[in-house]
Amino acid sequence: MTFQDIFKSSFLENVTSVTFLDMALALVLAFGLGVFIFLVYKKTYEGVMYSSSFGVTLIALTMITTLVILAVTSNVVLSLGMVGALSIVRFRAAIKEPLDIAFLFWAIAAGIVLAAGMIPLAVVGSVIIGLILLVFVNRKPHADPYIVVLQCDGPESEGQALELLRASTRLCRVKSKTARPGEIELNLDVRLRDGDTGFVNALTALPGVGSAALVSYNGEYMG
């Protein structure tokens, strides 16, 4: 093999396999879809701690997937090698929210479809998915759930407190009860009536009631 043969290798022949216009158009569209996915994620996030780095990851993942698929579609041999290379990659980051998995797959799918040249499918599909997520994730229940933490000194004060709660709220259910000598602690699931929280003050005014706390509850965490 001569020095000239080295520059005739297939490596240099692949330089023009994807045109600059195709690369620019695909990456710009991937960036636009990634930003759209990021905005939907930010709008629909309901977890405890919002991570801005995960939102940026969605943008980068869409563009990286587009870049990889552009290379794969331009060379069949490269596609086989890419499958083997990516099969050894292991991701150790923990997914905190179940919905985050949907956003990850959405970003990957948008990049794949876009790089395959199906631009209308990528754009229209992403818009429809985004609208569906915005409608259903941000959909609030008719009545926000709350937890009442109640401490009483005996059965008599417990009965009076429960009677007051049932009369002052739309719904009152006992979730847990802990009894100790001279102390009873109750956790109750309640639904407010017209947003009125005055019953908490009335509870603490009852004889035998040590304390009463009202905490919002969304089914996953209290705060």
- Which parts of the chain are beta strand (E)? 145-152, 171-180, 183-191, 209-216
The pLDDT assigned to 221 comes to 43
What averages of pLDDT result for each successive group of 10 residues across the chain (223 residues)? 50 63 88 94 77 86 88 65 57 72 90 88 93 81 78 89 89 88 89 84 88 75 43
The pLDDT assigned to 222 comes to 43
Burial class of 125 by CB neighbour count within 10 A (0 to 12, 13 to 18, 19+): middle
Q: DSSP assignment of 120-147, as one string?
A: HHHHHHHHHHHHHHHHHHTPPPSS-EEE
Q: Catalogue all structural domains in the chain, each as residue range(s) with its CATH number.
A: 3-137 (no CATH), 145-216 (3.30.70.260)
- Residue 38 φ/ψ region, left for φ over 0, alpha for ψ in the -120 to 50 degree band, beta for the rest: alpha
